[in-house]
């Protein structure tokens, strides 16, 4: 953007904000990057909802363009914590949106919009494999997962991927789509066949406006290709001459481009504006994002100082806007402000939970409300102890790095190189089967079957490990999981990697319990951040109210 254009945009945004505040409405800024890679994202979404890539379709199809006689039972219904819901893809087979929903249940009681997440504690699998009848964890929300950041990108709860295209390709050819660890090449051949032989006469083609075969879209030269699906030259491919791998790699790249566009609402300068919290920050002239050269930790301290300095805050009530997709009031009042202060505050040498300090921002740093890194909050320990008895996780023995490498199949996740691995430490706890525990990042870090993210992971692990010379810090990764973004948390319940918390109150009460264990030395591999946490039951309602104030009407529009 040229300087004159930037100045006009800046002035326009400022005037829009002032007008919104004076009229009692939430500010609504345009996003500068709404049209970047729009064609690739449009085609990526069509591929994202494509139901013919799954193993079930390959095994039951009569032709690439023929409907299934009987759909995969796993998509007939959608399981939720409130009971089963009718499956939006019933009669078909698995696709990406079978676990990453957005508006499919808009207005449905007990369901509603999603931030590309599901409704259950562990996502469904088309076929039982090994020790699994469902995925190891639930579907982490995708919105904001590719938000710009200062450090490396990690995807999935355990950091298995540092590149979205790698994640997509592995998913499409893996067990989430019904393919076994020895079927990767079969899956690639099948997906390439769908792309080559698709005739464009199907629901995804109709919904995304082109009614053209993938082969035509991918080639990108036909005169009748609409502008909104005209792929840039670097994304084009002649599928009649391309290899199966080249076709699937392009499919993965296009879905990755679609994923890049899944962001919470921001103005043209990357400033969030859509939640009651964002409105409160703006109308009280609080800092909305770090200054140039300022770390997120420094920004959060500056924000806390500014919040504590408010003598007569302007609260957000219903006159500033209303939610279209949520029953709650669009508000940020005294309770939410108290919760914000607890959220940002750190305790000094906490000996109990009396200091009203959550130190939440140490991991969930504003304005993204995540550090995009990994921490052990104690979720795995609580799950394991609930199944196997108090202190059971503290006494559980884990192999050293050498022992793990020498007995890969006994300890590690399944892969093409190790199709018979037990994944005992990537499995949720089960009563009566104490071998199962989900150790999160431990399964991925220094795993030779997952080479791509290792350099990035090591830089993060060794930056935080007290001693990275012993097994390169492996012990410090026990039960660590990626920090989720808290924006629009309302639309990604149930919470934590195992879906063990249903409501905001449950989340905060968990931290009261877990931080108490940490202070007593009874939380294994406790995070350093817990030393600054001093929460009690008296803080639960305020922090929960603040979390609710991060809600926005996300609808992928």
Give the β-pairing of 124-129 and 374-375. unpaired
What's the pLDDT score for residue 12? 37
Whole-angstrom distance, CA of residue 147 vs CA of residue 262: 8
* 354's tokens: 């009396």
Find tokens 């893996």 and name the residue: 174
Share of the chain above pLDDT 70, in %: 94
Dump pLDDT digits (tens) for 510-523: 999 999 999 999 99
Mention every residue, 6+ apart, whose C-beta is less than 8 A from residue 363.
370, 371, 373, 375, 483, 527, 529
Question: What is the dihedral sign for C-alpha 143, 217, 179, 256?
Answer: negative
CATH number for the segment(s) 38-260: 1.10.760.10
Mention every residue, 6+ apart, whose C-beta is less than 8 A from residue 468.
461, 462
- Phi, psi for residue 188 in degrees, rounded to 5: -60, -45
* 267's tokens: 């103005």
Dump pLDDT digits (tens) for 132-147: 999 999 999 999 999 9
Angle at Cα 261 formed by Cα 257 and Cα 267, nearest 5°?
145
What's the pLDDT score for residue 36? 62
Whole-angstrom distance, CA of residue 315 vs CA of residue 24: 11
Dump pLDDT digits (tens) for 358-416: 999 999 999 999 999 999 999 999 999 999 999 999 999 999 999 999 999 999 999 99
Q: Where in the chain is the domain with CATH 1.10.760.10?
A: 38-260
- Phi, psi for residue 420 in degrees, rounded to 5: -105, 15
> What phi-psi label fits residue 149: left (phi over 0), alpha (psi between -120 and 50 degrees) or beta?
beta
- Higher-confidence residue of 318 and 334: namely 334
Question: What is the dihedral sign for C-alpha 123, 506, 423, 465?
Answer: positive
The mean pLDDT value for 287-302 works out to 97
Whole-angstrom distance, CA of residue 451 vs CA of residue 243: 24
Burial label for 116, CB within 10 Å (0-12, 13-18, 19+), is buried
Mention every residue, 6+ apart, whose C-beta is less than 8 A from residue 285.
none
* Mean pLDDT taken over the chain: 93
């Amino acid at each position: 953007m040229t300087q004159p254009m930037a100045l006009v945009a800046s002035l326009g945004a400022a005037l829009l904000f002032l007008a919104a505040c004076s009229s009692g409405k939430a500010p609504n800024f345009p996003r500068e990057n709404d049209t970047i890679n729009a064609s690739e994202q449009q085609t990526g979404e069509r591929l994202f909802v494509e139901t013919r890539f799954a193993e079930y379709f390959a095994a039951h199809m009569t032709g690439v363009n023929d409907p299934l006689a009987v759909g995969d039972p796993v998509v007939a219904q959608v399981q939720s914590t409130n009971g089963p819901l009718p499956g939006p893809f019933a009669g078909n087979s698995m696709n990406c949106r079978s676990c990453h929903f957005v508006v499919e249940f808009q207005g449905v009681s007990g369901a509603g919009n999603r931030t590309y997440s599901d409704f259950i504690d562990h996502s469904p699998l088309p076929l039982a494999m090994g020790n699994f009848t469902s995925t190891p964890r639930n579907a982490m929300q995708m919105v904001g997962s590719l938000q710009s950041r200062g450090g490396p990108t990690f995807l999935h709860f355990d950091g298995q991927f540092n590149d979205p295209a790698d994640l997509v390709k592995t998913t499409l050819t893996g067990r989430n789509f019904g393919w076994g660890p020895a079927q990767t090449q079969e899956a690639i051949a099948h997906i390439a066949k769908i792309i080559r032989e698709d005739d464009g006469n199907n629901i995804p083609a109709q919904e995304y406006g082109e009614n053209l075969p993938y082969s035509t879209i991918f080639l990108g030269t036909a005169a009748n290709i609409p502008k909104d699906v005209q792929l840039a030259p670097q994304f084009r491919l002649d599928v009649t001459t391309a290899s199966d791998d080249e076709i699937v790699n392009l499919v993965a790249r296009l879905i990755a481009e679609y994923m890049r566009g899944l962001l919470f609402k921001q103005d043209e300068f990357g400033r969030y504006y859509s939640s009651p919290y964002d409105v409160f920050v703006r109308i009280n002239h609080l800092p909305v994002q770090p200054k140039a050269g300022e770390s997120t930790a420094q920004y959060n301290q500056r924000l806390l100082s500014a919040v504590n300095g408010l003598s007569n805050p302007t609260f957000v009530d219903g006159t500033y806007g209303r939610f279209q997709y949520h029953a709650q009031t669009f508000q940020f009042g005294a309770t939410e402000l108290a919760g914000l202060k607890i959220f940002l505050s750190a305790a000094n040498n906490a000996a109990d939970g009396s200091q009203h300090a959550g130190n939440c921002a140490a991991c969930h740093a504003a304005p993204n409300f995540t550090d995009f890194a990994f921490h052990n909050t104690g979720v795995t320990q609580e799950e394991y102890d609930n199944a196997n008895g108090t202190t059971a996780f503290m006494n559980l023995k884990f192999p050293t790095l050498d022992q793990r490498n020498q007995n890969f199949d006994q300890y590690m996740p399944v892969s093409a190189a190790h199709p018979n691995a037990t994944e005992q430490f990537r499995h949720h706890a089960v009563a009566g089967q104490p071998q199962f525990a989900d150790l999160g990042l431990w399964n991925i870090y220094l795993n030779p079957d997952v080479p791509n993210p290792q350099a990035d992971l090591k830089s993060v692990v060794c930056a935080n490990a007290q001693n990275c010379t012993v097994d390169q810090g492996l012990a410090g990764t026990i039960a660590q999981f990626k920090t989720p973004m808290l924006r629009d948390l309302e639309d990604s319940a149930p919470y934590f990697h195992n879906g063990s918390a249903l409501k905001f109150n449950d989340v905060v009460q968990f931290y009261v319990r877990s931080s108490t264990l940490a202070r007593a030395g009874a939380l294994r591999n406790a995070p350093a951040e817990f030393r600054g946490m001093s929460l009690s039951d008296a803080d639960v309602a305020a922090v929960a109210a603040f979390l609710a104030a991060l809600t926005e009407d996300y609808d992928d529009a």
